[in-house]
């Protein structure tokens, strides 16, 4: 036996309703036990605004349980009920026994009987949940009902070594702290298959995120299928199967809507546009070297780079393209990028120099402002609003008052608070992403630093703090694809979810780790391969075990017509190696402790 002391603590970890579970964690402590208060059975994530707990419990009958609502004609409500019903039937429990009262229904009462077409930026997500002799979920809108159903699902638990489901009598009054709680995925550096995007929407709903920021194209590829300019996709995508068709995009938007999630696409210009130039080279500025156009200078500029702001045809193209995009994506906002537009190529071009002289433009910042202003004007004429990265505002560009500025810069030398103060002082609504770049990974519990990042922790007035409408976790895909995106993102993004949903004073990271571990196991049981944050395991449905392998079945094009042919799907056979590896690891652990 190892000569260090091994302290084994057994804890119950409890699942999404109806996915209750028992799970055992082994904590190794050399001298001291782990800090923090261990989570009670069925602890919800993110932590609700107010949560009145009780030790009195009810038994849940998964066979006869029913949701009731006067809004069953609304597809958002009926699809939510269907999702929970389908999962409920997976739970195998013994016959009910014991002195507890049996809970067989939850009444869902929604004040606004309108079935909305699409979630809006100011959607009301508040709800009240009472579990007792009469169990009731009330909300002003269907969006609040969705959040309340998710919380209810997490309250259900199974006792250790038991076979019956329980829920404690509970009173919850809840609403989000911030309206904007986003996840940004980059599908240009590496293509992310449709099943992965859809599974990620599930994970977002489990954590009460409400915005999918889709960074859909970039220098590397143009996987969006354009109707107006089909050669953009034909020449800019990695391949004919690695595209998001119009049907795919609609499917993502529809599935997101059913979960109360907005979809904001990003088409970044004038930089990050190499893939655009594969079909329309005239959009890009020819870079000069040794007196010749279209010649790259290593570590300085490419051969063709950054949109050409001197040509009227550039703006004619953008007007047609944006006109298409606003018809495809129903959200009020488009993300227009505008970041990292390095002027090296412009500086090398005698054509750009002549244009600047003719138009009394003395700096490249002013040239950038000319481009930005014209593109923003195009969007305004469509009656849409926009989100942009901080770069042009920081350089002095003036945008219309309802512009949302996303702050992404910050490091140990110049922290993000410096940039947030500068942007907020100009009166814009802001989103923070600087401290939530989850593509950067490290060994251990790096979720802690994400949990401890406070979006309003910068120098500014009360009005400037109130202009922070939320934030988002970003995953850039230089080293991310369908094989590792979900395990990279979750449950680290869950830490961001609680920071954006729960009250500002919810800051006990030591106690949060126990609830987060429950949430991680909850997601694993639901088919999300979320990485561990503590020692232990989530029961016999640890990801890769037969119970979880069935979550990803082989799906045909006929079953999911909106999935591109050739898209990656998970199947039992594809996880055989994973299963063998996990079993081998278990055997090694057993011998280690002998």
Active site residues: 340
68 membership: H or E segment, kind and range: strand 66-69
Strands 50-52, 170-174: pairing is antiparallel
All residues at 6 or more sequence positions from 321 whose CB lies less than 8 Å from its CB, including other chains: 226, 228, 229, 267
Shortest CA distance to 389 belongs to which of 434, 436, 426?
A: 434
The answer to whether the beta carbons of residues 429 and 423 sit under 8 Å apart is no
500 phi/psi in degrees, rounded to 5: -90, -20
Rounded Cα gap, residues 47 and 41, in angstroms: 14
The answer to whether the beta carbons of residues 352 and 288 sit under 8 Å apart is no
| Tokens read off for 308 | 């050409």
| Tokens read off for 505 | 């004073």
Distance of CA 94 to the CA centre of its chain: 37
| Tokens read off for 495 | 């830490």
SS3 content of the chain, % helix, strand, coil (to 5): 35, 15, 50
Q: Residues of 161-190 as b/e, b for ≥16 C-beta within 10 angstroms?
A: eeebbbbbbbebebbbbbbbbbbbbbbbbb
CB atoms within 10 A of CB 87: 19
């Amino acid at each position: 036996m190892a000569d260090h002391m091994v302290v084994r603590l057994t804890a119950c970890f409890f699942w999404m309703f109806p996915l209750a579970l028992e799970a055992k964690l082994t904590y190794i402590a050399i001298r001291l036990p782990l800090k923090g208060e261990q989570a009670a059975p069925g602890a919800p994530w993110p932590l609700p605004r107010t949560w009145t707990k009780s030790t009195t419990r009810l038994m849940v009958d998964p066979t006869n349980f029913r949701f009731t609502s006067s809004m069953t004609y609304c597809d958002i409500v009926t699809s939510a009920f269907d999702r929970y019903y389908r999962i409920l039937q997976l739970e195998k429990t013994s016959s009910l026994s014991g002195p507890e009262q049996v809970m067989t229904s939850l009444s869902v009462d929604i004040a606004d009987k309108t079935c909305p077409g699409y979630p809006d930026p100011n959607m009301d997500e508040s709800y009240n949940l009472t579990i007792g002799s009469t169990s009731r979920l009330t909300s002003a809108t269907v969006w609040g009902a969705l959040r309340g159903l998710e919380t209810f699902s997490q309250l259900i638990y199974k006792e250790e070594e038991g076979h019956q489901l329980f829920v404690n009598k509970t009173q919850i009054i809840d609403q989000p702290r911030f309206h904007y709680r986003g996840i940004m995925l980059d599908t240009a550096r590496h293509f992310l298959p449709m099943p992965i995007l859809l599974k990620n929407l599930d994970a977002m709903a489990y954590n009460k995120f409400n915005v999918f920021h889709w960074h859909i194209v970039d220098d590397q590829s143009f996987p969006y299928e354009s109707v107006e300019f089909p050669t953009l996709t034909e020449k800019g995508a990695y391949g004919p199967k690695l595209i998001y068709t119009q049907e795919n995009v609609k499917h993502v938007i529809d599935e997101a809507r059913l979960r109360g999630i907005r979809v904001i696409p990003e088409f970044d210009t004038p930089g990050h546009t190499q893939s655009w130039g594969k079909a329309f080279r005239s959009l890009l500025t020819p870079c000069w070297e040794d007196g010749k156009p279209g010649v790259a200078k290593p570590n300085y500029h490419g051969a063709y780079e950054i949109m050409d702001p001197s040509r009227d045809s550039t703006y004619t193209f953008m007007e047609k393209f944006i006109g298409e995009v606003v018809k495809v994506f129903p959200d009020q906002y488009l993300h227009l990028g505008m970041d990292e537009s390095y002027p090296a190529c412009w500086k090398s071009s005698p054509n750009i120099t002549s244009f600047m002289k003719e138009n009394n433009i003395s700096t490249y910042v002013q040239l950038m402002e000319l481009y930005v202003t014209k593109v923003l004007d195009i969007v305004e004429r469509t009656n849409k609003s926009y989100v942009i990265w901080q770069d042009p505002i920081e350089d002095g560009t003036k945008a219309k008052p309802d512009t949302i500025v996303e702050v992404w810069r910050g490091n140990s030398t110049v922290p993000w608070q410096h940039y947030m103060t500068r942007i907020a002082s100009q009166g814009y609504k802001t989103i923070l992403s600087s401290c939530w770049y989850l593509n950067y990974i490290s060994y251990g519990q790096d979720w802690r630093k994400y949990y401890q990042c406070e979006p309003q922790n910068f120098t500014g007035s009360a009005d400037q703090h109130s202009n922070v409408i939320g934030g988002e976790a970003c995953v850039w895909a230089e080293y991310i694809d369908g094989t590792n995106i979900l395990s990279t993102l979750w449950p680290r993004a869950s830490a961001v979810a609680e920071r954006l949903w729960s009250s500002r004073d919810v800051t006990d990271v030591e106690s949060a780790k126990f609830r987060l571990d429950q949430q991680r196991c909850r997601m694993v049981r639901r088919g999300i391969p979320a990485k561990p944050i503590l020692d232990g395991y989530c029961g016999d449905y640890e990801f890769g075990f037969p119970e979880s392998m069935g979550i990803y079945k082989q799906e045909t094009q006929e079953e999911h017509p909106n999935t591109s042919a050739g898209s990656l799907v998970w199947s039992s056979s594809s996880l055989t190696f994973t299963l063998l590896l996990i079993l081998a690891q278990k055997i090694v652990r057993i011998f280690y402790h002998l």
